């Protein structure tokens, strides 16, 4: 048997071979089971990485954040070197000082009380800025409206003056004048 023929027989499904039983012996089934594709009747999950789910969109990254209340501090600062650490650290990575001593805890409490006060002041200033901005926007809108009204009054006044001047020149209303012009044109054209 040539090598090519042996290769073709190995890769071909057992059910496709003429003259051979469709149900192989247990030894043969184990040997060829990894090479053969599963039948269409049974649909086990492919072990070869041929599933198409891997080509779909990537799932969003999972970021787990520690929720902090207003009174809780997100980090601990060393009072000796000023280096910041996570809340659960017990020793400073910069200078080696203990972060769970009484003076260190008192330092951090004062730091966070000061930060809370600053945060409250910033929030109040932001609220005041928002109120001032809303007032300025309202004043600007009112000024724009007043400017538009004044412009409309001026255009109306000029248009009325123009129409009055035309009426005086032609001796009638604008509508009468249009009719006269059309009659005059039809006489010239002879229609």
More confident of the two residues 144 and 42: 144
Residue ranges of alpha helices (H) inside 55-101 are: none
| Closest C-alpha to 50, from 32, 41, 61, 38 | 38
Residue ranges of alpha helices (H) inside 51-101 are: none
Above pLDDT 90, what percent of the chain? 32
Looking at every residue in the chain, the average pLDDT score rounds to 78
Mean pLDDT of the 166-175 span: 66
Q: Quick one: DSSP state of residue 71?
A: S
pLDDT higher than threshold 70 for residue 97 = yes
Query: Which DSSP string corresponds to 27-63?
Result: HHHHHHHTTSPPPSS--PPPSSS--GGGGSPPPPP--
pLDDT higher than threshold 80 for residue 190 = no
Question: Cα(first)–Cα(last) distance of the chain, in Å?
Answer: 109
Token couple for 161? 């003056």
More confident of the two residues 99 and 71: 99
pLDDT at 134: 96
25 SS3 class: coil
More confident of the two residues 126 and 189: 126
Of the pLDDT bands very low, low, confident and very high (cuts 50, 70, 90), residue 11 is low
Of the pLDDT bands very low, low, confident and very high (cuts 50, 70, 90), residue 45 is low
Q: How far apart are CA 27 and CA 34, in angstroms?
A: 12
Of the pLDDT bands very low, low, confident and very high (cuts 50, 70, 90), residue 185 is confident
C-alpha 53: how far from chain center: 25
115-143 per-position pLDDT tens digit: 989 999 999 999 999 999 999 999 999 99
């Amino acid at each position: 048997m040539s090598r090519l023929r042996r290769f073709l027989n190995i890769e071909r499904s057992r059910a496709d071979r003429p003259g051979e039983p469709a149900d192989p012996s247990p030894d043969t089934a184990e040997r060829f089971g990894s090479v053969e594709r599963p039948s269409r009747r049974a649909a086990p999950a492919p072990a070869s990485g041929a599933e198409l789910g891997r080509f779909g969109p990537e799932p969003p990254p999972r970021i787990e954040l520690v929720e902090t209340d207003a009174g809780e501090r997100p980090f601990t600062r060393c009072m000796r070197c000023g280096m910041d650490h996570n809340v659960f650290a017990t020793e400073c990575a910069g200078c080696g000082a203990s972060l769970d001593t009484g003076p260190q805890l008192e330092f951090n409490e004062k730091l966070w009380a000061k930060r809370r006060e600053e945060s409250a002041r910033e929030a109040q200033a932001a609220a005041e800025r928002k109120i001032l901005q809303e007032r300025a926007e309202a004043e600007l809108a009112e000024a724009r409206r007043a400017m538009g009204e004044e412009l409309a009054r001026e255009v109306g006044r000029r248009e009325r003056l123009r129409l009055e001047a035309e009426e005086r020149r032609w001796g009638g209303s604008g509508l009468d004048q249009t009719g006269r012009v059309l009659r005059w044109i039809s006489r010239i054209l002879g229609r």
